[in-house]
Amino acid sequence: MVKMAKKIEGGPSTCHHHHMAIQEINRAHELMSQLHAVLLQLFPAQVGGDILKEILTLTSSALSGLQSTGCGSSGGSDDDPRCGSDKRKSLQRSDRPGDHKRRRKQETWSIVTTVPYGDGYQWRKYGQKMINNAKYPRSYYKCTYREGQGCLAKKTVQQEDSCADPPRFKVEYSMQHTCKTIDAVPFVMDSTPKEASLHSGGFSSEQHPCLPSATAGNLIQDESLWVYDQMQECLPLVPEPLGKMDMASSILSPTGPWDWDLLMGDDDGW
């Protein structure tokens, strides 16, 4: 990675443009994940959800393609100027030739996002490990349908050592999904919609220090759940003026406030 960064910094302009393209697609993917989450929550009947999901799939494969063409292998937005030195340290380890070799056994691609579960698939966590020189543990997920449908897709999620707010996560995927997922699972809500959103999500308290262990995640179902969990559980870290409404607005609407009670129900110890 360090080598890669140097290559990008000092390399030919085509590589620079390549890097920029990855960054931009990455960002678009992130924004669409958030939009997808919001749309699905507002319109459980999935008005437009399929379209957005397809866009997400396309951006994922575009990233995959770009990253496999040689100029870059990371999500592109790794370098956070605010905490660059720590990041560099943590990357040195993972850039060992041996690690590369191991990882390259399978098709892998990665993105950096604030919405680490924004891919529309369902994942089951099968491991978590502290990575050398990394501040946060890495979590290992495989497709929920691995047994049922033989889907070999996997991913790892690791919070970056950056001080970014909201926190950023590097999500590394390996193997394409071969399963047929049931999109609507998180949104086939019965009379208690908040149950679905409040009790799902993927972070243990260690991964996400602001998340109480009592609500540590179960099934990772959809990015939308993560979005709402993040809003709910991370609020204490947000300066008071940037409460739920402001965070939501920053994600959702440039035009103004929106009704949380409408979305979330109205109680349950917010």
User: At closest approach, how far in Å is the CB of 144 from DNA?
Assistant: 6
* Residue 45 or 214 having the CB closest to DNA: 214
- Give the whole-angstrom CA distance, residue 106 versus residue 115: 24
Binding site for DNA (CB under 7 A): 93-94, 96-99, 101-103, 124-134, 138-140, 144, 154, 156, 199, 202, 204, 206, 214, 216-220
User: At closest approach, how far in Å is the CB of 121 from DNA?
Assistant: 13
* Residue 27 or 124 having the CB closest to DNA: 124
User: At closest approach, how far in Å is the CB of 127 from DNA?
Assistant: 3
* Residue 135 or 199 having the CB closest to DNA: 199
* Residue 46 or 94 having the CB closest to DNA: 94
* Residue 125 or 168 having the CB closest to DNA: 125
User: At closest approach, how far in Å is the CB of 90 from DNA?
Assistant: 8
**What are the DSSP calls for the chain, one per residue?**
-HHHHHHHHHS-HHHHHHHHHHHHHHHHHHHHHHHHHHHHHH-TT-TTHHHHHHHHHHHHHHHHHHHTTSS--S-S----GGGHHHHHHHHHHHT-HHHHHHHTTS-EEEEEES-TTTTS--EEEEEEEEPTT-SSEEEEEEETTHHHH----EEEEEE-SS--SS--EEEEEES---S---TTGGG---S-HHHHHHS-----TTTSTTS-GGG----B--HHHHHHHHHHHHGGGS-GGG-HHHHHHHHS-SS----HHHHH-S-S--
User: At closest approach, how far in Å is the CB of 247 from DNA?
Assistant: 23
* Residue 61 or 132 having the CB closest to DNA: 132
User: At closest approach, how far in Å is the CB of 226 from DNA?
Assistant: 12
